[in-house]
Homo-oligomer: A and B are copies of this chain.
Amino acid sequence: MPTALAFDVFGTVVDWRSSVIRELTEFGVEHGISRDWAAFADEWRGGYAPAMDRVRRGELPWTRIDDLHRMALVEMLAAAGVEVADNDVNHLNRAWHRLDPWPDSVEGLTRLKRRFVITTLSNGNVSLLTNMAKRAGLPWDCVISAELFRHYKPDAEAYLGCADLLGVQPAQLMLVAAHPNDLRAARANGLMTAYVARPREHGPDQQPDRVDDGEFDFTATDFLDLADRLGA
């Protein structure tokens, strides 16, 4: 059994897509603008991995997610012909601080916290993760972010840095994530791994992940199932 659990956040703990669509819809109502907000949310999220990869390759200096999100948002609003004040752009950009958890997240984390140290290990910046947890009631023992290492997952520094900050060996730390690629990188760096399926992260038409039997140490349908499997 691990000593500590590190959780991927976007998609694993929180339902970013429904939450961002909700925020965009509110934004549209407030400003009298009608667009396909689901497509807008998917495009916004779609720019995230390529932007982080530019940071990972050194084409951009270290840039936190709030700023990567804002750069994409400004371009997308311009392309959609939407003109609003800077303050409104800032508020909308912080939609990512106001994401709602999946229905099982708070109860599952609360149970897991009794037995394990539980932390975030997210590419989201510290203030984003902190504000999100405060609003949603996510009971983290601490908030660890790629920002602390200036290396985005799947860079090794993020996984190993998390173990180092927690004062545990990589093999005593288990990454919990809904994304096989994140888990494979964690495993390559010596961490334990738990895959939790989130089949609606990308909406109703999502293709299932391809995960081999026994590829990860644990596989669970949600955080309550994970707590059961870990005896928490």
Contact = CB atoms under 8 A, between A and B. Distances in A.
Contact of A130 (B126, B141, B148): B141
A1 interface: no
Interface string A165-198: 1111000000000000000000000000000000
A125 interface: yes
Contacts of A38: none
Q: Is the interface of A mostly helix, strand, loop or mixed?
A: helix
**Size range of the interface on A?**
20 to 34
Interface in A60-88: 66
B148 A141 contact: no
A127 B165 contact: yes
Copies in the complex: 2
A133 B141 contact: yes
A130 B125 CA distance: 19
A142 B141 contact: no
A168 B97 CA distance: 14
Interface string A146-166: 011000000000000000011
23 contacts: A66-B167, A113-B134, A117-B131, A117-B134, A126-B142, A126-B144, A126-B165, A126-B166, A126-B167, A127-B165, A128-B167, A129-B142, A130-B141, A130-B142, A130-B166, A133-B141, A134-B141, A140-B142, A141-B143, A142-B143, A143-B143, A147-B165, A148-B148
